[in-house]
Structure 1
Amino acid sequence: MGGHGSGILHAEIDENGCLTQVALAATTPSPSFVAQHPSLPVLYAVGEKEETLRAFRIGADGGLTPLGGPAAAGAAACHVAIDPDGRFAVVACWGSGEVLVYALDAATGAITGRTDAAPARAPYAGVPESDMVAPRPDYAPRMSRAHYAQFLPDGRVLTIDLGFDLARVWRFASASATLVLDHEVVFPYGVGPRHVAAAADGRLYVSCEYAVAVFVLTPGADGRYAIAGSSPLRAAPREAGEYAAHLSLSDDESLLYATVRGSNIVAVLAVVEGGAPQPLGEVPSGADWPRHHYARGDRLYVANQLSDEVTVFALGADGVPGEILQRVPAGSPTAVVPTSR
């Protein structure tokens, strides 16, 4: 989307946690998010500008070979999640608000069909923009903007609508690719839910772009999720022009990492048992517009979209990012995602 990249890069992680053998794996338009099939060497990429979903075979050297042609998606397709059983891919489209389900071939992982989920309905009607919890940027009028999908342990899938401050939980109709709405969770007006980090105990942590906060969703005995608490991502007051991006859990789930664009920081929050996370510390992301990150062991990999580099941090004993070990040139990086071959 107007960046400097050529497609999808591949890299190895060496014994020191640094990125090596960085190479172009596939030339493809605006692959703003990727996800791997759970059991096959197949990678899926949304094309945000070209409005597609593409599948690629992952080669022994990390190179990517197209697996069939591009499948049509919606405007600004920005996220893809793959069913743990490898049956479906769910794509969220920021521009059009669409949630799309793609059937995947069991043997090859190829895309074989598409089903559209029901459109979201605004949970707030007639509320003035001035009553929003957090101000929206000029480019984000209030409209449906699907932004993320998360498969849940029980086979359901949760999708996030950033524009409508809404999470929708779906179940699949029998074994088909049709999503049936189970229930919705409505966030405070204007917070802008964006990305999800799922804990092993069923809790879901949701970063909210406009409020620069995290909300905690917990499932009840009936399986319905509800907001159980929230916290700012930073101890300092929210700054004008900053927007929360990605959220992830440490390996032991004791910490949350959040990247914040504009102020260009990595925020660290302590996970409190039975309560909302608490800000623990923050450090500069090392560059401009940290859109996404990946936490692995004692390393944190941050995709700084507007400065064309991935910064690799060493995590201290307390889990807070410390020294920048490496700066890896990458054209407009928007996601750092682990894969296997």
Structure 2
Amino acid sequence: MTRFWVGGYGPDMGGDAEGVGYLAVDEGRGASTLAYRGVAGAATSPSWLAQHPTLDVVYAALEGEGAVQAFARSGEQSLRPLAPPLAAGASVCHLTVSPDGRMLVASCYGDGRVVRFGIAGDGRLQPAAPDKAAALHAALFGEADAETDAAGAHPAADPYPTPAGEEPRASHAHAAVFLPDGRIATTDLGFDLVRIWRRDLTPDHEVVLARGTGPRHMVMHPSGHLHVVTEYSCEVFTLASARDGSWSVVSATTASPVAQVGVDTCAELAVSRDGHTLYTALRGGNTISALRVRGSGEATEPLALADSGVDWPRHHLVHEGVLLVAGQRSNTVAALDLDERTGVPRDVRHVTAAPAPTAILRAR
């Protein structure tokens, strides 16, 4: 049996999820047996889930509470909390764990915070440590550094001036990914930034995208390129690292020629196992767009568009020739067949009920 954990929105976020859910597929019988099997671990709106690289531990972003919590596997389809939740920031919406399993980075949409937590040997989260530079500043000058938050991440600044008559924009951190050299890339949807951090979460440099694009999620391509999908402009930007370690945009394309900016909003970005295809979701039109990866990963182009089989496709996961799609508003998860040769999404093979699903994670 193949198992998946499912994150979802609870009553505090307008949904019906009672915690981290459990999905399963019967071995040898395929995606048509996909079914929601109940609550694995009680939690309040665990909207994003991340897996420890070596331990059977799952981390949940409790978006409504603005907290993160670690869960350990306690049975075939159950999770137990390792400790009480730890505060992260307003509307924490994404988590990523370092490849060595020693650090977790949380992105907070509500206040723009990027927060670093240590991870103990048993997988427990350790409180975010204050920034060393801020502590030194406070010691020298007797005051807190207003430019550094308590978790050690420097707040983003809008690279664009505020037009006359408009309110200033707000920072909205949305996702993070660990880069091959150990640094961290994060998106700021509100300020149109991809921010590059050193491992201690001090800023390295920034990549500024066009105003109003809204970078949301990212995926590292096997080639070493970083693909970024934008929520507002419905585009996929490809970034590459130069010899000096600086990142920059090398190409951009529309997520789909029929995407309607202002109606559609892109959500997740996933890559096929062979690296030849990217998949993003267009909420609004409720479609899945496949993009072909060109050259050595430095460019993409729209390949095909398919029905997602759900309403408001918030997240999707590639698994053994099938794309699993979480429909936040339809309270369903759909399984789409993928063409073995081209990677193009085909028919919706199966749909199962699931309460307000927002993230799907393959269980260990």
Q: Which amino acid aligns with 1:13?
A: V
Contact in 1 for aligned 2:308/2:348 (Cα 8 Å): no
Separation in 2 of the partners of 1:209 and 1:49? 21
SS in 2 for 1:150: strand
Q: Which residue does the alignment assign to 2:299?
A: 276
Alignment partner of 1:158 out of 174, 185, 194 = 185
Match status 1:243 vs 2:282: no
Whole-angstrom CA distance in 2 between matches of 1:332 and 1:245: 15
Per-residue deviation, residues 45-81 of structure 1 (Å, max 9, x unmatched): 0100011100000123131101011101111000000
SS state of the match for residue 227, structure 1? strand
1:214 to 1:242, Cα distance in 2 relative to 1, 3 A: same
**C-alpha separation between the residues in 2 aligned to 1:103 and 1:129?**
43
Aligned equivalents of 1:128 and 1:224: distance in 2? 33
SS in 2 for 1:159: strand
Counterparts of 1:235 and 1:128, CA distance in 2: 33
Q: Contact 2:108/2:173 (CA < 8 Å) preserved in 1? A: yes
2:226 to 204, 207, 218: 204
| 3-state secondary structure, aligned to 1:306 | coil
Q: Could you tell me the TM-score, scaled by structure 2's length?
A: 0.86
Residue 179 of structure 1: which of 201, 222, 229 is its match? Answer: 201
RMSD: 1.7
Instruction: Return the offset for 1:239.
Output: 4.6
Partner of 1:58: 73
2:245 equivalent in structure 1? 223
Cα distance, 1:237–1:150 mapped onto 2, change above 3 Å: closer
Match of 2:132 in 1: none
Per-residue deviation, 1:22? 2.2
Q: Which residue does 2:123 correspond to in 1?
A: 109
Is contact 1:199–1:249 with CA below 8 Å preserved after alignment? Answer: yes
Q: Which residue of 1 aligns with 2:353?
A: 329
> SS state of the match for residue 361, structure 2?
coil
Are residues 1:290 and 2:313 paired?
yes
Gaps of 5+ in 1: 131-139, 173-177
Letter in 2 for 1:122: D
CA deviations on 1:283-341 (whole Å, 9 max, x unpaired) are 1111210010001221000001000000011112321111222111111100111120x
Q: What is the CA–CA distance in structure 1 between the aligned matches of 2:353 and 2:336, rounded to whole Å?
A: 15
- 1:133 matched residue in structure 2: none
How many percent identity over aligned positions? 39
Matches within 5 A, 1:91-170: 91-106=106-121, 108-115=122-129, 116=151, 117-127=153-163, 142-170=169-197
**2: CA distance, partners of 1:194 / 1:332:** 20
Summarize the Cα distance change of 1:333–1:141 in structure 2 as closer, same or farther, 3 Å threshold: farther
Cα shift readout 1:4-29 (whole Å, capped 9, x = no counterpart): 21111122333314424622101210
Maintained 8 Å contact 2:310/2:326: no
1:253-292 per-position Cα deviation (integer Å, ceiling 9, x unaligned)? 1011011101110001111115421111101111210010
Name the structure 2 match of 1:302.
325
Q: Secondary structure at the match of 2:329?
A: helix
Give the deviation of 1:240 after TM superposition.
Answer: 3.5
Counterpart CA distance in 1 for 2:250 and 2:164 is 26
The whole-number CA distance in structure 2 between the counterparts of 1:81 and 1:19 is 26
Q: Report the secondary structure of 1:5's partner residue.
A: coil
Which of the pair has the greater relative contact order for Cα pairs under 8 Å at 6+ separation?
2
TM-score (norm 1): 0.92
Whole-angstrom distance in 2 between the partners of 1:319 and 1:61: 32
Distance 1:169 1:240, change over 3 A: closer
* Residue matched to 1:11: 23
Query: In structure 2, what is the equivalent of residue 32 of structure 1?
Result: 47
Structure 1 residues 315, 64: closer, same or farther in 2, change over 3 A? same
Is there any run of 5+ residues in structure 2 with no aligned partner, and where? 1-12, 130-150
* 1:138-174 Cα distance to aligned partner (Å, 9 max, x none): xx982100000101111111111000000111112xx
Q: CA deviation at 1:225?
A: 0.7
Q: Is the 8 A contact 1:234 1:282 kept in 2?
A: yes
Distance 1:255 1:36, change over 3 A: same
Paired positions, count: 325
Q: Flag the structure with larger Rg.
A: 2
